[in-house]
Structure 1
Amino acid sequence: MSKGFRQSQAGLHTWSGLLLGWILFLVFMTGTIAFWREGLNRWMRPELARVEQPMRVLAGAQRFLQGKAPDAKSWFITMPSDAAPGAQLFWVPQPKEGERPRRGGRRENQALIGADGEPAVARATRGGDFFYRFHFDLHYVPVIWARWLVGFATMMMLVAILSGIVTHKKIFRDFFTLRRHRGQRSWLDGHNATAVLALPFHLMITYTGLVTLMALLMPWAVVANYSDEAKLFDALFPHSETIERTHRAAPLVDLTTVVRDAERRLGGSSGFVEIANPGDAAARVSVNRAPSTLLNTRTPKVTYDGVTGAAIWQSPAPGGASATAGVMIGLHAGRFADTALRWIYFLCGVAGTLMVASGLVLWTVKRREKLPDPDRPHFGFRLIEKLNVAVLAGFPLGIASMLWANRLLPTGMAARAEWEVHTLFIAWAAALLLVLARKPASSWIVLLGITGGLLILLPIYNMFWTDRGVFASLSANDWLPIGVDLTLLVLGAASIATAQRVARYRPERRRSRDDRRVAAARLGKLAPAE
């Protein structure tokens, strides 16, 4: 391989990683957190107990919906699990004449059924769902623009990974090399190690991330083959024939009986139940298999007559293209993973986040050494260096602040879930102001130290002021809250340790160009005459 080609790839690697590096850092960090989406949904509602009898919760959901929305157009029930806070319900009222259909749900059309089968009284929160949505929809940004931006950043990430493999001819040897206290060399070693450590994961998660957005980024195949969006939907997500409401009242079948039969037919636990025309002779009950039981996210389903309980339709085997897309999305989301594999996903995601962060820091370290006077850099360099600190240390501070807002905001507060999210961005903005007012080195120390302290104090708060502290969870043999608290402790300790390393670091003073010229002139005067 020619040296010129490798050097060209080095430039491509540098700029493809830098141009959208901050977006990639946010996407990688929130996507990594989203691997524990369901667990965070429950951790952020400490009032809720672990679900031990899913069918009891389902029966309570049916009872609630029959009393709350007996004449609704449809009901939707997310089946509970031991990692979920309960059964999430949503219903669509019968459309009124002249009213335009609304996209998305209304809060008054949603409810949560707890482990006891009764409507749960718990704090409003976006929970882990916020991190899941943020990592491809961002926030405060129109969804279509956010997905284009994330899609372009993901393509740059794939280019950076592939060009990085080409550039580093000794990449695997460098993985086993970590030189400490060596400035730029140490950052490069850390960047190489985190990149090679989970290289197959980085390639997989980046490529499959593009697959999840393929209809947006490359819509030509869809446009060429489907002029009607409804036909495309039917091809990708087959379903039984829709039957209009008859307006003849009929009791709805017991949903627990239907779901048990569906789980037997589908070969795995159920994840989602949809009831069309409840309370009518034309009622239909559809049960989907849980995505956590299959690699393919496009899970099969069975449809039943809502009055007799007889199975009337089962989804056909998916085609090759549909199955491939479903498997790619399943690999990316990791919903199929058990606890051990989910930890591997999470740790590889942490490595990816550190890889992006170290690459951004390495860029500033290398560029500083090339400046005419590294001790007095120009405005553009100083701005990028400060923004690096604001993103890499400020965003984690925002996340820690959001978790504290989840614990401290009044439970009856209006728009409480939204204010949890607002707290993240308020803290992030405060971090930016601090970074702009201070030197980068001291900003790293302050932001990382505060973030570490906030994360470590959270489990202590949980222990004394919630019902899900470590001792209460141990007595209930409930390991999910314990796992979250221990993870927060480890991340907090790592943040404080990093702040201490930055505080102790004393860089070697490098001579400016003027210094080198003076030294060269002096050397010339002292050189012996020939």
Structure 2
Amino acid sequence: MRETLRTRLGWLHGWLGYGAGLVLACIFATGSVAMFNMEITRWMQPEVQLATPVPPTALALDAAAHLIAAEQARGVSAFIALPSARSPTLDVLHYNGHEFVGARLDPATGAVIPARITAGGGLFYNFHHTLFLGARVGTVIVNIVGMVLLVAIVSGVVIHIHALVPDIILLRLSAARLRAWLDAHLLAGVLFLPFMVMMAYTGVLVKADMIVPAAPRPAPPVQANAPLPAPVPDMTRLPLAPLLARARASLPGQEPGFILFAPQRVSIFAGDASSAFLTRDHADFSLPEGHPLPVSTTASPIARTMQLMHGLHYARFAPPGLRWLYFISGLCGTAVMASGLVLFVMKRRRHAGHRGAHRLADGLNVTVMAGLPAAMLGFLEGNRLVPATLTGREDWETGIFFTVWALCAVHALFQALRGQAHRAWRAQLGLVGLLGASLPVLDLLCCPAAFRALPGLHMAVDGMGVAAATVALYARYRLGQQGA
């Protein structure tokens, strides 16, 4: 009975895990990088060379208000993002369908910084949450594979529980390739099991309404002669600095982060980095007078629990050390998915009747494990190569990411279906090595002033490219030693 259960769970863990693992490897990889999405955006806008944030002056807030009024005149709904430790500029942003883009202002003077428009680190963040398939469809798919991950974790623990401790202690990385891959899969899976469970559970929970929507509320009756919504008042006549000071006093322990505008009010929201509880508490002021309205907070146990789930998943409260821990844990989670994909193919490669299917699986593995890193590095290099003044350049950057990935997919599938998957591995691992190693060189050649102004930021981003290149070239070397 026990063997029958383990056999059935092994089938479930293998086939269900492989199908979801292809998507989960992409989600974990982009989610790990998205832990530094704001830092990557700063790297991709080298014209912004502010090192530390300063509180916005009344002059800068008034300049932002004028930009808000100009956006409203064009029919664009914009908001103000206040300076923070991770993004020291005063920003006037709007959503273009995928990313938040807009003007960057110096918080001291209010002068517009002529920064290039970029997709920035938001591309990785949006891909992690929606796979770039739209807010609803993409989020539902991500939630489903998140639930599959929880099933795969439970089935994997049951399958290996009888010999889990000996397998981890022995860690036979120098044994036969199948045994070595399995030991590495088990070690990374066990060590980072709490992190993967936490991220999968909180990720599914915070977007659960996409899968199980609440009962729709009845729509209010439509009046035949209903008045048109009032236009948003001219914000240039209402100074924001006094409102910001009042909001800071009304939200004790929470630093303001965003200013949103509505026809009858202006709302100043608490910043996401205020605490581990990701709240949406805000102080409201009437327009155009600026009189304070009741502060909106949520304090019920259910609301606080959900705020904590959001905070743990997005980790916007995390200091740099904890953010790096999230990043490393996410990469190790990616390694668990990747090693599982390799194990699935290796264990079934010689089974009769499955050659075509397993060649396809080989090509998909190359696409995910080598093609995706190549596309991510190509996206960063594209930021330096696309002209800074080009109209719609954020779309060009996004196009570079998906074009490189698509070309890698075509190459991998073509070689794998011919039975030459090892050639695809070697070529694409070499491409990752080339792109990663050339990233700091390109950065220094194109933006020497930004490198000198923010050496820590540029060394961190360029260093991640070099680290990816080192791992890829080492894997390519080992692949050449061991054969296809």
TM bracket, shorter-chain basis:
0.7 to 0.9
C-alpha contact (below 8 Å) 1:45/1:85 kept by paired residues: no
> Which of 204, 222, 228 is 1:210 aligned to?
204
**Matched residue type, 2:377:** A
Offset from partner CA, 1:379-424 (integer Å, 9 cap, x none): 2221221221122211111111111111101112232111111111
Q: How many residue pairs get matched?
A: 466
Normalised to the residue count of structure 2, the TM-score between the two structures is: 0.87
Which has the larger displacement, 203-212 or 14-23?
14-23
C-alpha contact (below 8 Å) 2:64/2:92 kept by paired residues: no
**Matched residue type, 1:63:** A
Percent identity over the alignment is 29
Please give the alpha-carbon distance, in whole angstroms, between the structure 1 residues aligned to 2:138 and 2:428.
Answer: 27
Residue 454 of structure 1 corresponds to which residue in structure 2?
Answer: 435
C-alpha contact (below 8 Å) 2:429/2:475 kept by paired residues: yes
> Which of 190, 194, 202 is 1:196 aligned to?
190
Please give the alpha-carbon distance, in whole angstroms, between the structure 1 residues aligned to 2:145 and 2:230.
Answer: 47
> Which of 111, 119, 125 is 2:112 aligned to?
119
Matched, 1:387 2:390: no
C-alpha contact (below 8 Å) 1:89/1:112 kept by paired residues: yes
Deviation at 1:305, TM superposition (A): 4.4
**Matched residue type, 1:155:** M
Residue 259 of structure 1 corresponds to which residue in structure 2?
Answer: 244
> Which of 158, 162, 165 is 2:154 aligned to?
162
**Matched residue type, 2:35:** F
Offset from partner CA, 1:294-315 (integer Å, 9 cap, x none): 2222232112345665533212
Residue 225 of structure 2 corresponds to which residue in structure 1?
Answer: none
Please give the alpha-carbon distance, in whole angstroms, between the structure 1 residues aligned to 2:149 and 2:125.
Answer: 19
Residue 90 of structure 2 corresponds to which residue in structure 1?
Answer: 87
Please give the alpha-carbon distance, in whole angstroms, between the structure 1 residues aligned to 2:232 and 2:118.
Answer: 38
Q: Counterparts of 1:112-151 in structure 2 under 5 Å?
A: 112-114=104-106, 117-139=110-132, 141-151=133-143
CA gap 1:414/1:499 in 2 versus in 1, 3 angstroms:
same
Which has the larger displacement, 110-119 or 408-417?
110-119
C-alpha contact (below 8 Å) 1:205/1:332 kept by paired residues: yes
Secondary structure in 2 matching 1:274: strand
Please give the alpha-carbon distance, in whole angstroms, between the structure 1 residues aligned to 2:410 and 2:281.
Answer: 51
C-alpha contact (below 8 Å) 2:270/2:280 kept by paired residues: yes
Secondary structure in 2 matching 1:312: coil
CA gap 1:150/1:367 in 2 versus in 1, 3 angstroms:
same
Deviation at 1:437, TM superposition (A): 4.1
Matched, 1:333 2:326: no
CA gap 1:285/1:429 in 2 versus in 1, 3 angstroms:
closer
Please give the alpha-carbon distance, in whole angstroms, between the structure 1 residues aligned to 2:98 and 2:60.
Answer: 21
Q: Counterparts of 1:219-368 in structure 2 under 5 Å?
A: 219=213, 222-223=214-215, 227-228=217-218, 252-266=237-251, 267-277=253-263, 284-305=265-286, 311-368=292-349
Deviation at 1:442, TM superposition (A): 2.2
Secondary structure in 2 matching 1:384: helix
Please give the alpha-carbon distance, in whole angstroms, between the structure 2 residues aligned to 1:306 and 1:191.
Answer: 58
C-alpha contact (below 8 Å) 1:252/1:306 kept by paired residues: no
Please give the alpha-carbon distance, in whole angstroms, between the structure 1 residues aligned to 2:351 and 2:335.
Answer: 24
CA gap 1:42/1:90 in 2 versus in 1, 3 angstroms:
closer
What's the Cα RMSD here? 3.0
**Matched residue type, 1:13:** H
Residue 525 of structure 1 corresponds to which residue in structure 2?
Answer: none
Secondary structure in 2 matching 1:88: strand
Matched, 1:408 2:398: no
Residue 177 of structure 1 corresponds to which residue in structure 2?
Answer: 170
Deviation at 1:199, TM superposition (A): 0.6
**Matched residue type, 1:136:** H
CA gap 1:249/1:379 in 2 versus in 1, 3 angstroms:
closer
Structure 1: which 5+ residue stretches go unaligned? Answer: 92-102, 231-243, 508-530
Please give the alpha-carbon distance, in whole angstroms, between the structure 1 residues aligned to 2:61 and 2:459.
Answer: 28
Please give the alpha-carbon distance, in whole angstroms, between the structure 1 residues aligned to 2:279 and 2:181.
Answer: 42
Secondary structure in 2 matching 1:69: helix
Which has the larger displacement, 66-75 or 340-349?
66-75
Residue 499 of structure 1 corresponds to which residue in structure 2?
Answer: 476
**Matched residue type, 1:260:** A
Deviation at 1:285, TM superposition (A): 3.1
C-alpha contact (below 8 Å) 1:41/1:85 kept by paired residues: no
**Matched residue type, 1:202:** M
C-alpha contact (below 8 Å) 1:57/1:87 kept by paired residues: no
CA gap 1:406/1:310 in 2 versus in 1, 3 angstroms:
same
**Matched residue type, 2:369:** L
Secondary structure in 2 matching 1:318: coil
Normalised to the residue count of structure 1, the TM-score between the two structures is: 0.80
Deviation at 1:111, TM superposition (A): 2.8
Please give the alpha-carbon distance, in whole angstroms, between the structure 2 residues aligned to 1:24 and 1:412.
Answer: 36
Which has the larger displacement, 2-11 or 301-310?
301-310
**Matched residue type, 1:16:** L
> Which of 447, 451, 462 is 1:485 aligned to?
462
Please give the alpha-carbon distance, in whole angstroms, between the structure 2 residues aligned to 1:485 and 1:57.
Answer: 33
Residue 99 of structure 1 corresponds to which residue in structure 2?
Answer: none
Q: Counterparts of 1:508-527 in structure 2 under 5 Å?
A: none
Deviation at 1:212, TM superposition (A): 2.2
Deviation at 1:344, TM superposition (A): 0.9
**Matched residue type, 1:137:** T
Residue 24 of structure 2 corresponds to which residue in structure 1?
Answer: 24
Please give the alpha-carbon distance, in whole angstroms, between the structure 1 residues aligned to 2:101 and 2:460.
Answer: 33
C-alpha contact (below 8 Å) 1:32/1:350 kept by paired residues: yes
From the CA coordinates, give the structure whose radius of gyration is larger: 1
CA gap 1:412/1:365 in 2 versus in 1, 3 angstroms:
same
Secondary structure in 2 matching 1:20: helix
Please give the alpha-carbon distance, in whole angstroms, between the structure 2 residues aligned to 1:12 and 1:323.
Answer: 36
